[in-house]
Amino acid sequence: MNQKYEAVIGLEVHVQLATQSKLFSGAPTHFGAEPNSNTTPICMGWPGTLPVLNEAALKLAIKAGLALNCRIAERLKFDRKHYFYPDLPKAYQISQYDMPVNGKGSLTIELEDEQGGLQIREIGITRAHLEEDAGKLLHEGIKDGSLVDYNRAGMPLLEIVSEPDIRTPAEAYAYLTALKAILQYLEVSDCNMEEGSLRCDANVSVRLIGETKFGTKTEIKNLNSFKAVQKAIQYEIDRQIEIVEGGDRVVQETRLWNDVKSQTFAMRSKEEAHDYRYFPDPDLVPFTIDRETVEEIQKSIPELPAARTQRFMKECGLSRYDASVLVGDKKLGDYFEAVIATGADSKLASNWIQSELLAILNERKIPIENSPVGADALAGLISLIQKNTISGKIAKDVLPMMFETGKTAEVIVKEKGLVQVTDTKLIEEVADRVLAANPKVVADFRAGKGQAVGFLVGQVMKETKGKANPKIVNEILTQKLS
Ligand code: ADP
Ligand code: MG
């Protein structure tokens, strides 16, 4: 990136609230239902129907607002946002215009700088308001016209708008990761991007460093992963700098990200933008939220990712990196806690989960909560390593067998005779044999090639089929060679 410029980025995130029914009707919300089956006359905007606010959705919105340090509104109002499009049966969307449930707040993000140091930044939240989703048009495989599925129409959404405080694509990525983790810990949303329960639009502008005014922004839509957000923002920054450097002006417009081409394309300019003619929805009168309700919701907020990361560092001695990987996925953090609850060493547990266990699960596309090797089973394996019954190397062979057979580590080790050889007499015998068979390596070692001992250790391990305790082998060989 051109060093004279800096980027200014603001994100608008829509998350679907995890309620059983829609925002203003009793229609169900589950994903994957037959098109237009999760609907009621209210979702379809039939004349004479009246919306009724879903209390559960309001409470989830407040819960998210509290976790994002937002000022919670005392008085609440819903407004109609008008546009005409077939995905919107009423021709208006019920949203919140000037009295959102959640006012100003903040989100702290952490990221590594180029020197590997930790950078902590606070990103302002402008607001987080409630609104209903629209339906979905389907064009694929249809010759004449389009089909429409209203299952999403009326789904409860929380739109979380950030201040233009984000400066780099990496910060945008960190913001989204932190936001998603918080919302998942709160059980406010499952934040599943594939199913559309988390969507993000990115607003980007550039300006000369030192300039205090913002440049003209573009808004990027159609971002279907956090990686895509990061890539699209970088593309847009580069594109805008090129325009400005060329003496031209950035046009304020909405652009679409094309993931295949890794480019953004103009969709519509601000001139064509709609006038939404917002006005208060007369069917939903303004109301007051009492403070007791807010306090009650505050009490229901569990330990959040930042606090959990601190705890894993302080109480379990994990590095910040390891702690945040485990905490980043709530279920993974829960699994780790279940393993160490059995008394397993926390660093061993962290390493085994993050390397060996996740490698197998990722390969088989199994989420951690469905792991065939449960926390107790992994703890059993780790305990065998801690007791020196098996070496870490053998344990790496045992874990896949646990996946295959469903047997415990202890049973597998017994059945296969994998118990570690710690019998020094036996190891000495093998060591003598190895030394006798490799006179040249021994001579090399004596001539000062210290690394030759590694080869000899390897030979002893091979002869014992990996079962000798490597530490004892090392000690014995060093002793015999000195
Ligand atoms: P609009 O009226 O176009 O919707 P808003 O003021 O509502 O714009 O802001 C929408 C989002 O764009 C917010 O996340 C905000 O932080 C961000 N934003 C506003 N101005 C800029 C800018 N100049 N550059 C980058 N992002 C911006
Ligand atoms: Mg906006």
482 residues of the chain, pLDDT tens digit each: 678 999 999 999 999 999 999 999 999 999 999 999 999 999 999 999 999 999 999 999 999 999 999 999 999 999 999 999 999 999 999 999 999 999 999 999 999 888 878 899 999 999 999 999 999 999 888 888 899 999 999 999 999 999 999 999 999 999 999 999 999 999 999 999 989 999 999 999 999 999 999 999 999 999 999 999 999 999 999 999 999 999 999 999 999 999 999 999 998 766 555 789 999 999 999 999 999 999 999 999 999 999 999 999 999 999 999 999 999 999 999 999 999 999 999 999 999 999 999 999 999 999 999 999 999 999 999 999 999 889 888 999 999 999 999 999 999 999 988 888 878 888 999 999 999 999 999 998 888 888 888 899 999 999 888 888 888 898 899 888 88
Last residue of a domain, one of 267, 294, 321: 294
Same domain, 237 and 131: yes
Residue written as token pair 């009246």: 50
User: What pLDDT, on a 0 to 100 scale, did the predictor assign at position 361?
Assistant: 97
Q: Based on the fold, state whether residues 396 and 476 are members of the same structural domain.
A: no
Q: Ligand 1 centre and the CA of 316: distance in Å?
A: 42
- Write the CA distances from 244 to 91, 236, 398, 414, integer angstroms: 39, 12, 60, 71
- Give the Cα separation of 470 and 287 in Å (integer): 71
Last residue of a domain, one of 416, 439, 460: 416
By C-alpha distance, which of 465, 11, 444 is closest to 236?
Answer: 11
172 with 250, same domain: the answer is yes
The residue whose C-alpha atom lies closest to atom 8 belonging to ligand 1 is: 203
Specify whether 254 is located in the same domain as 134: yes
Confirm whether 299 is domain-assigned.
Answer: no
* Domain presence at residue 300: no
User: Same domain for 309 and 290?
Assistant: no
Supply the pLDDT for residue 371: 97
412 and 444, same domain (yes or no): no
Separation between Cα atoms, residue 218 and residue 245, nearest integer Å: 17
Ligand 2 centre distance from Cα of residue 219 (Å): 9
pLDDT of 270: 60
Assess if residue 87 is contained within a domain: yes
- Residue 469's CATH number: 1.10.10.410
449 and 370 in a common domain: no
- Predicted local distance difference test score (pLDDT) of residue 419: 85
pLDDT value at residue 425? 87
Distance 447 CA to ligand 2 centre (A): 74
Predicted confidence at residue 9, as pLDDT, reads 98
Dihedral over Cα of 374, 376, 380, 383: its sign:
positive
Which residues form ligand 1's pocket by a CB distance below 6 Å? 8-12, 161-164, 203-205, 214, 217
Q: How far apart are CA 145 and CA 252, in angstroms?
A: 31
In a domain? residue 265: yes
Residue after which a domain boundary falls, among 362, 393, 416: 416
Q: Residues 22, 94: one domain?
A: yes
Ligand 1 pocket mutation, candidates 95, 163, 205, 217, criterion most atoms within 8 A of CB: 217
pLDDT score at 142: 85
- Ligand 1 atom closest to 203 (CA): 26
Cα 335 to ligand 1 centre (Å): 40
Residue 46 in domain: yes
pLDDT of residue 466: 84
Is this structure's pTM higher than 0.85? yes
Sequence-distant (6+) residues with CB within 8 A of 193 are: 199, 224, 225, 226
Residue 470 lies in a domain: yes
Q: Are residues 203 and 223 in the same domain?
A: yes
Q: How many domains does the chain have?
A: 3
Residues 83 and 9 in one domain: yes
If asked whether residues 435 and 315 sit together in one domain, one would say no
Domain that holds residue 471: 424-481
Measured from the Cα of 215, ligand 1's closest atom is: 23
Q: According to the model, what pLDDT value does residue 272 have? A: 58
Please give the distance, rounded to the nearest whole angstrom, from the Cα atom of residue 203 to the centre of ligand 2: 9
100 and 164 assigned to the same domain:
yes
